[in-house]
Amino acid sequence: MAQLAPIVTLAATGASIYAQTQEAERQKKNARTQQENAAAQQAAQRQVLAVQAAQDTAERQAALERGIASARARLAAGGVNPNDGSAAALTEGLRSTAAAAQASDDATYAARLTAGRRSLLNQDSSILNWARAGQGLGRVARSLLD
C-alpha cells in the first residue's frame, strides 16, 4: 500500500497538470478573442475619428473659402484691388489662421488615435501555469524521495 501512494500522487499531479494546461489553453483562447474584439473596436474608432477629422477639415476649408470670398468682395466693392497690399495681407492672415486651426485639429486627432492604443504589457499568464505545473512535479519528486 505504501508503494501505491507515490503512484497515486504522480497520477493526481498528472491530472492536475493536464487540467492546468487545458485551463491555460482556454485562457489563451479567451485572451485572443478579447484582443481580436479590441482590435476591431480600435479599427472602428479610427474610422470614426478619420471621418470626423475629414469632415472638420472640409468644413474649415469651406468656411475659409467663404471668408476669403466675402473679404475680397467687400474690398473690391470699396474699390481696392483684393490681390494687392493690405487686402492680400488680410487673405493671407485668414489662410494662416485656418492652417493653424487645422494643425491643432491634426494634433488632437493624433492624440485620440494614440490614446486608444492597447498596452503591449498585457499578460496571458502562460508562464504562471507552467510554474504551477513545475511545483506539482516538485511535490511528486519529493513524495517519491520520501
Q: What confidence score (pLDDT) does residue 120 get?
A: 44
Percent of the chain past pLDDT 70, that is, above it, reads 79
Residue boundaries of the structural domains of the chain? 4-117+125-145
Is it the case that residue 27 has pLDDT exceeding 80? Answer: yes
pLDDT digit string, tens, across residues 3-21 = 777 787 878 888 888 888 8
Q: What angle do CA 101, 108, 113 make, to 5 degrees?
A: 145
> Residue 65, Cα to own-chain centre: how many angstroms?
35
Max mean pLDDT among 74-83, 110-119, 130-139 falls in 74-83
pTM of the complete model: 0.49
Distance CA 143, CA 6 (A): 6
Region at 118 (left for phi over 0; alpha for psi -120 to 50; beta for the rest): beta
Is it the case that residue 123 has pLDDT exceeding 60? Answer: no
